[in-house]
């Protein structure tokens, strides 16, 4: 496949996961978390990975992020094989309370990765303020993360990821620990940032509704040992809205389809 980034959507392959397998070797106990996963994410795409809990979603994300070595197969990001956390990638973790540096202010948290990228001070300032404004937190730059609510903390983590100007943004069940209203707001935030910044997003979730609402394509995983059950193209209109999109007949169809797949995956475990 030729990769020509013209800035248009899905013009090439951003992420290529091929034959990924992960076996945890414990003391006399081998756990095959992931059996065989193959999928690609195109440049500028927003893809959700959904699967029953215990389907190795987090393992997959950690392998993709270069935080974990896979047992077999390979992960390629922008044509380069991933052996450690690659540049051009940002990760938003589920545990917002533990992924922000509590000894730093919100602004310092967002700025630190930029310092490591050796971005000049003036540009750094600009990126930080812009990112905080984009997530609606322009006013709290001097607060510490623990002074904010859970949803606001996750916004800070998103701002930090956005300011880093990644080519791909990995999100590991980022909204699993926030309340429903906040969650809806954050979903819309992800959609709008994705559209504005043209960043590729790989979003892992166990929430079927969330995956259908957010994604252009949903990759449904089986139960552990994990394989890809199906890739579902989400042909919903591009302008999504919590009320209208979720009440579309097509939304219900897609949702039921993915739901049935996940239920099958669970039944496979029990059977």
Partner 1 sequence: MRPLALARRLVLLLALPAVLAGAWWAATEDSTDFFWPPLSDILGTFGETWFTGRFTADVLPSLARLLAGYLVALVLGVGLGVAIGSFRTLRGLVEPVMEFFRAIPPPVLVPILMLFAGIGNGMKVLVIVSGCLWPVLLNTVEGVRSVDEVLRDTARCYRLRPHARIIHLVLPGAGPRIFAGARQALSIGIILMVISEMFAASDGIGFTVIQFQRSFAIPQMWTGIIMLGLIGIVLSLAFHALEARVLSWYTGQRRAQREG
Q: In Å, what is the CA distance from 226 to each residue of 32, 53, 79, 171, 270?
A: 8, 11, 25, 19, 15
Give the nearest distance from C-beta 96 to partner 1 in angstroms: 9
Name the residue nearer to partner 1 (CB basis): 93 or 251: 93
Rounded to a whole number of angstroms, the minimum distance from the CB of residue 228 to partner 1 is: 25
| Residue 116 binds partner 1, judged by CB under 8 A | yes
Token couple for 26: 């414990």
φ and ψ at residue 233, rounded to 5 degrees: -80, 130
CB of 265 to partner 1, least distance (A): 27
Nearest partner of 66 among 82, 81, 54, 53, judged by Cα = 82
Q: Please, what is the minimum distance in Å from the beta carbon of residue 144 to partner 1? A: 6
The residue range among 19-27, 60-68, 74-82, 248-256 that interacts with partner 1, by the rule CB under 8 A, is: 60-68
Alpha carbon distance 202, 208 (integer Å): 15
* Binding segment toward partner 1, per CB under 8 A, in 90-98, 187-195, 212-220, 227-235: 90-98
> Which two tokens mark 66?
């270069």
Q: How many residues bind partner 1 (CB under 8 A)?
A: 25
Burial (0-12, 13-18, 19+ Cβ within 10 Å), 12 = middle
Footprint of partner 1 on residues 125-154 (CB under 8 A)?
Answer: 144, 146-147
The DSSP string of 41-59 is EETT-EEEEE--TTSSHHH
Rule CB under 8 A: say whether 83 interacts with partner 1. no
| Binding flag, residue 27, partner 1 (CB under 8 A) | no
Footprint on this chain of partner 1 (rule: CB under 8 A): 62, 65, 67, 84-85, 87, 89-91, 93, 95, 98-99, 101-104, 112-113, 115-116, 144, 146-147, 164
């Amino acid at each position: 496949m030729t990769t020509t980034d013209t800035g248009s959507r899905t013009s090439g392959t951003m992420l290529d996961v091929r034959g990924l397998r992960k076996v945890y070797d414990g003391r006399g106990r081998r756990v095959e978390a992931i059996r065989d996963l193959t999928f690609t994410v195109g440049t500028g795409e927003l893809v959700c990975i959904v699967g029953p809990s215990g389907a190795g979603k987090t393992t997959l994300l950690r392998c993709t992020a270069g935080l974990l070595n896979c047992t077999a197969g390979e992960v390629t990001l922008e044509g380069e094989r991933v052996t450690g956390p690659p540049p051009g990638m940002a990760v938003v973790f589920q545990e917002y309370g533990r992924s922000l540096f509590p000894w730093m202010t919100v602004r310092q948290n967002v700025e630190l990765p930029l310092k490591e990228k050796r971005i000049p001070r003036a540009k750094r300032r600009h990126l930080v303020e812009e990112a905080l404004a984009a997530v609606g937190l322009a006013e709290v730059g001097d607060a510490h993360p623990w002074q904010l609510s859970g949803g606001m903390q996750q916004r800070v983590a998103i701002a930090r990821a956005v300011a880093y100007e990644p080519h791909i943004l990995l999100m590991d069940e980022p909204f699993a620990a926030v309340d429903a209203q906040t969650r809806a707001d954050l979903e819309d935030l992800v959609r709008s940032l994705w559209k504005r910044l043209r960043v590729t997003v790989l979003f892992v979730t166990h929430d079927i509704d969330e995956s259908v609402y957010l994604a252009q394509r949903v990759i449904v995983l089986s139960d552990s040992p994990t394989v890809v059950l199906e890739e579902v193209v989400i042909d919903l209109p591009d302008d999504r809205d919590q009320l209208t999109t979720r009440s579309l007949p097509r939304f219900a169809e897609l949702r039921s389809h993915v739901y049935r797949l996940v239920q099958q995956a669970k039944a496979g475990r029990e059977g």
